[in-house]
């Protein structure tokens, strides 16, 4: 017999943990107190962390750090400086940002920024390097075209 969503186990627990995750997604740049999130979710801190980790594979704190690093990547790609990105995503010190970034991404924020800038120049100069040939061909995009749509 089919079971639908209405019957899935402990629906209210899921809703609270999901709300906590979404809270982190939108307030990552602020000084988030994870105890407060557990309180808002009406859980004991221990219970909350365990449920969160079961669902997302990371503790709330690990998840918050991952979101901050991901947002920093986006800001660096958009051309912000390392310190701008660091403070904009909620880190309080450049050194902890630098070491967490390197642990996650594999390179320092400044090396990442440099790579991105080089890539941007390459994209500007040779955009077709970044598009599979089949699509470029079907669209009539050639090395010398200006990418206008040709009916």
Partner 1 sequence: MISKMTNMCVYVLNQDSAFDFYTNKLGFKVKMDVPMGANARWLTVTPPEQPELEITLFPVAVGRMFSEETVKLMTELISKGTFGPGVFSCTDIYATYEELKSKGVEFVKPPTKEFYGTEALFKDDSGNWFSLYQQ
Residues that bind partner 1 (CB under 8 A): 2-6, 8, 11, 14-15, 17-19, 21-22, 54-57, 70, 123, 127, 130-132, 135, 138-141, 146-151
Nearest-approach distance from CB 15 to partner 1, in angstroms: 6
Nearest-approach distance from CB 38 to partner 1, in angstroms: 17
CB nearer partner 1, residue 94 or residue 119? 119
Residue with tokens 């962390």, as numbered in its chain: 49
Please state the three-class secondary structure of 85-103 as a single string: HHHHCCCCCHHHHHHHHHH
CB nearer partner 1, residue 35 or residue 142? 142
Longest CA pairwise span in the chain (Å): 63
Nearest-approach distance from CB 104 to partner 1, in angstroms: 13
Task: Determine contact, residues 82/43, Cβ cutoff 8 Å.
Answer: no
| CA 77 remoteness from chain centre | 12
Q: Which value, to the nearest 10 degrees, does the dihedral of the CA atoms of residues 114, 116, 121, 122 take?
A: 120
CB nearer partner 1, residue 14 or residue 87? 14
CB nearer partner 1, residue 70 or residue 94? 70
């Amino acid at each position: 017999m089919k079971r639908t969503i209405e019957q899935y186990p402990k629906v209210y627990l899921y809703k609270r943990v999901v709300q906590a995750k979404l809270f982190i997604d939108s307030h990552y740049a602020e000084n988030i107190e994870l105890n407060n999130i557990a309180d808002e979710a009406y859980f004991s801190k221990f219970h909350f962390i365990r449920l969160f980790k079961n669902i997302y594979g990371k503790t709330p704190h690990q998840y918050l750090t991952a979101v901050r690093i991901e947002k920093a990547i986006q800001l660096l790609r958009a051309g912000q400086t390392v310190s701008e990105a660091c403070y904009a995503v909620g880190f309080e010190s450049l050194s902890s940002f630098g070491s967490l970034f390197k642990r996650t991404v594999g390179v320092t924020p400044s090396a990442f920024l440099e790579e991105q800038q080089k890539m941007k120049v390459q994209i500007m100069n040779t955009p077709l390097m970044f598009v599979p040939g089949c699509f470029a061909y079907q669209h009539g995009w050639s090395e010398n075209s200006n990418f206008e749509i040709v009916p």
